[in-house]
Structure 1
Amino acid sequence: MNNRTVSMRTLIALIIGSTVGAGIFSIPQNIGSVAGPGAMLIGWTIAGVGMLAVAFVFHILARRKPHLDSGVYAYARVGLGDYVGFSSAWGYWLGSVIAQVGYATLFFSTLGHYVPIFSDDHPVVSAVAVSALTWLVFGVVARGVSQAAFLTTLTTIVKILPLLCFVIIVAFVGFSWEKFTIDFWATNGNVGSVFEQVQGIMVYTVWVFIGVEGASVYSRQARSRSDVGRATVIGFVAVLLLLVSISSLSFGVLTQQELAALPDNSMASVLEAVVGPWGAALISAGLCLSVLGAYVSWQMLCAEPLALMAMDGLIPRKIGAINSRGAAWMAQLISTIVIQLFIIVFFLNETTYVSMVQLATNLYLVPYLFSAIYLVMLATRGKGLTHPHAGSRFDDSGPEIPRQENQKHLLVGVVAAVYSVWLFYAAEPQYVLFGAIAMVPGLIPYVWTRLYRKEKVFNAFEWVVVTVVVVAAIAGIVSLVNGSLSL
């Protein structure tokens, strides 16, 4: 029976739908706060090459290892060891948890412009509202209820239409070439050198591309393998053009300093400067509907890494328990509790949406980096570092790849790995340290499970990874204690 039913058009829609999220609505302020138009264009060029390489890493690995279907962490686990796979899943899970808090915060702060009770003047009300929304969604997904296909399609349309309206209206009505070029390199903006500006926008460019690897999941269902590659390029270029258009057009309406001073939903403010209040209302409605439409899916995604690791024996299997309605209720409950804890911590510390974005992005980078390293290993030596699961579905074996194709895979892997390392370097140090602190608690269930199963805890490479994480976490804790580190 042929199950290759996903067309290239559908694959393109999946890429665009999974990549374009709430982050795009805040991109004018995010970019404007750290860079001018010139550095912005350089940054998007680097991000375009780097994130396309990351997307192709997952596409190539899906083709070379079609039996590895336990999410993005499976590649890191097979190639570099169980703990590296676990840390990739743990990072992806925590990134998703923090992203949930960020999305809900952005939703209620936007709503606060129209419903004063949710404004920044009432942080406790917003915290309670975010908590209530989180537990309401848990109640839905724990019953095994998921969004229907038509709702996902509707959500994508709701997201894209306001963005297209923004591009068309601003391009033909509000854009000023003189304003765009008057301080092209932001020499008057107190944002540093061009290099520092480019460095500053890197995390934001990754944030708005999270999910671009999603097309590789559907490789086996595509009508042809070549469709996946073409869809990845077309979908990625479409999203990149949309992001570059919104960023560039915004600099033609407001100066870099004006953009930097905007609220989180900065696209609304830019359009309001062009056409008045109804423009802000249009964009705000698109953002709110987009966040609400995707919130259930993202909260379900939060639980997926935990459930997969439990099913694969990396953490206690009870965490992956499935109820009678087919929902991983224990993983959902743990994820919801952790989301609630982050809500409390973030609101007590008055953490901004931008800080949540930077922290979540650093955690998302973990599986990106390790998957790229695995592809480099496959292209150079044909296998990963360890093979503790030979003969199982985590076996590292695979078909022989022609030399010329391997060279292409090596180039993609190297570009993605270098780009991922550069992103860690470009990130603000405090978010790297906070990310390390967040990784350490995962050692408890992982080590306990390995000891309980009487399995080797770490291989040589994993000891290096653990040492780096623990040392960074200790440095972060010391900095927290002496007051030099804060969110």
Structure 2
Amino acid sequence: MVNRKELNLFSLIAIVVGTMVGGGAFNLPSDLAVAANSGPVLIGWLITGAGMIALALVLQNLAMRRPDLDGGIYSFARAGFGEFLGFNSAWGYWVSALLGNVAYATLLFGSLSYFFPMFGKGNNLPSIVFASVLLWLLHFLILRGVREAAFVNLITTIGKLVPIFLFLILMVFAFHWDVFVRDFWGTARGFDWPVVKQQVKDTMLVTLWVFVGVEGAVVLSGRAKHRKDVGRATVIGLLGTMVIYVLISVLAMGALSRGALSKLHEPSLAYVLEHVVGPWGAVIINLGLVISLLGAMLGWTLLAAELPYVAARDGIFPRWLGQENRNGSPSGSLWLTNGLIQLFIIIVLFSESTYQVAYSLASVAILLPYLFSALYQIKLVWTGEGYAKGESRGKDLLLGIAAVIYALWLVYAAGLDFLLMTAILYALGIFFYISARRENGKKAFRGWELPLATGIVIAAGVAIYLIAVGQLSPAG
């Protein structure tokens, strides 16, 4: 029997940081500049920071109160709200991970075009061929064992942080206060709440995307040597990464105007540094991005394969996805996961604005798992499950409420178009759910679950119709 308890604190922190600091950090300057001016960006970071800290503390608390739930973010929804919502939480997280890897693959070969122009924007035939080779190399690395893959992820995490720290040090000397505060609120009248609110809203999917992965240690909690390390890794990874993100965006906005930043090619971090120190700065950042994306793809492949594996063992996904190989790797889930990623990478050949579309859909798909984890915190506080008699629950209640409000705000900020397109992805999952339920001799839906499933299918049908008539497009 292979020992699954193989990840220590540093490996878990590396998983959290490695999955969060992917390609998003390297394109933050232009992604945020397209959405907002300096003032609204700071408000956006304040909201995101407060919301993500609340969510991280919720995940830490749930990992401590319910150590029996090894599926983490998926199993919280299942334990709190039943099989169907548990399945949808797992499915949404899995879909988010798949789309995230497609976004990373596109950005990776787009950045390599700085050195090898044949890769273009990362969505042409050479990019797809090399991305496919890379995908299956990572696949076979993980098949050799999760611990070995986690060690490689630790090395790439260190490698990606070096150029980012170099960027931050150099940008301190290039920061100009007058550039940062110029047109601070984006209106001639100064602070105008309707305009500022819209800009803040427009930053939300960007700031959410760069924090997706905060739950990485929770997803892999079943492989942690010590359960207490799961919560520690989550909070340490989040706080460290948050400081990096805020510094990147503030320093960039103090070096170039919003208009100049918004027009930079991907990865914009490279071209900001090129503006400050010359071409060698872009070379360093692009090399760092390549290392970062390799690590992010590895980390996200680990997470994407682990969750269906755990869900299958719980009877939520089809049974064959719970297979392990002799090294203890989730082989059945891994083959399906990477097979689908391969399919999406091929579809990239016919797409435009692939990176932005993929990360936006990935961000929206993961909202349901986040929301129901926060709601489960409130439920635990209400029932007292996992608490000692007389133990204070007030702080946990406030954190749960804050995380729920943040998740609902993100649903609002995502907008109807992305919510409808995500409904298509969730509707496809219903077939998997029905198959798994039948396999275990259980009725597909109970009570209110059938109306909910029907609503998802109707929303997906509306989205498909709107896409067909040209009124809905992923590219906006």
Normalized against structure 2, the TM-score is what?
A: 0.90
Counterpart mapping for 1:68-467 below 5 A: 68-120=69-121, 123-144=124-145, 147=148, 150-172=151-173, 174-187=174-187, 193-216=195-218, 233-382=235-384, 398-400=386-388, 402=390, 404=392, 406-467=393-454
Distance, in Å, in 1 between the alignment partners of 2:461 and 2:343 is 21
Q: CA deviation at 1:360?
A: 0.4
Q: CA deviation at 1:355?
A: 1.0
Other structure's SS at 1:428 match: helix
Other structure's SS at 2:264 match: coil
Q: Is the contact between residue 29 and residue 262 of structure 1 (CA under 8 Å) also seen in structure 2?
A: yes
**1:259 partner amino acid:** L
Distance, in Å, in 2 between the alignment partners of 1:455 and 1:219 is 26
Distance, in Å, in 2 between the alignment partners of 1:345 and 1:256 is 33
Normalized against structure 1, the TM-score is what?
A: 0.88
Segment of structure 1 superposing worse, 412-421 or 298-307: 298-307
Distance, in Å, in 1 between the alignment partners of 2:335 and 2:37 is 43
Other structure's SS at 2:35 match: coil
Q: CA deviation at 1:263?
A: 1.6
- Encode CA deviations 1:310-367: one digit per residue, 9 max, x unaligned: 2111222122222334333222121122112212333313242111110001111121
**1:248 partner amino acid:** V
Segment of structure 1 superposing worse, 31-40 or 146-155: 146-155
Identity %: 41
- Encode CA deviations 1:229-257: one digit per residue, 9 max, x unaligned: 67655543322221111101111111111
* CA spacing shift, 1:325–1:118, aligned 2, 3 Å: same
**2:156 partner amino acid:** T
Distance, in Å, in 2 between the alignment partners of 1:424 and 1:84 is 17
Distance, in Å, in 2 between the alignment partners of 1:171 and 1:74 is 44
Q: Is the contact between residue 22 and residue 104 of structure 2 (CA under 8 Å) also seen in structure 1?
A: no
Distance, in Å, in 1 between the alignment partners of 2:165 and 2:122 is 32
Q: Is the contact between residue 316 and residue 445 of structure 1 (CA under 8 Å) also seen in structure 2?
A: yes
Q: CA deviation at 1:141?
A: 3.0
**2:135 partner amino acid:** T
Q: Is the contact between residue 22 and residue 295 of structure 2 (CA under 8 Å) also seen in structure 1?
A: no
Distance, in Å, in 2 between the alignment partners of 1:61 and 1:106 is 34
Q: Is the contact between residue 153 and residue 299 of structure 2 (CA under 8 Å) also seen in structure 1?
A: no
Segment of structure 1 superposing worse, 264-273 or 15-24: 15-24
Q: Is the contact between residue 146 and residue 297 of structure 1 (CA under 8 Å) also seen in structure 2?
A: no
| Runs of 5+ consecutive residues of structure 1 not aligned to the other structure | 383-396
1:482 paired residue number: 469
Q: CA RMSD in A?
A: 2.7
* CA spacing shift, 1:77–1:233, aligned 2, 3 Å: closer
Q: CA deviation at 1:135?
A: 2.8
Distance, in Å, in 1 between the alignment partners of 2:225 and 2:234 is 12
Number of residues of Structure 1 aligned to a counterpart in Structure 2: 464
Q: Is the contact between residue 142 and residue 302 of structure 2 (CA under 8 Å) also seen in structure 1?
A: yes
* CA spacing shift, 1:291–1:13, aligned 2, 3 Å: closer
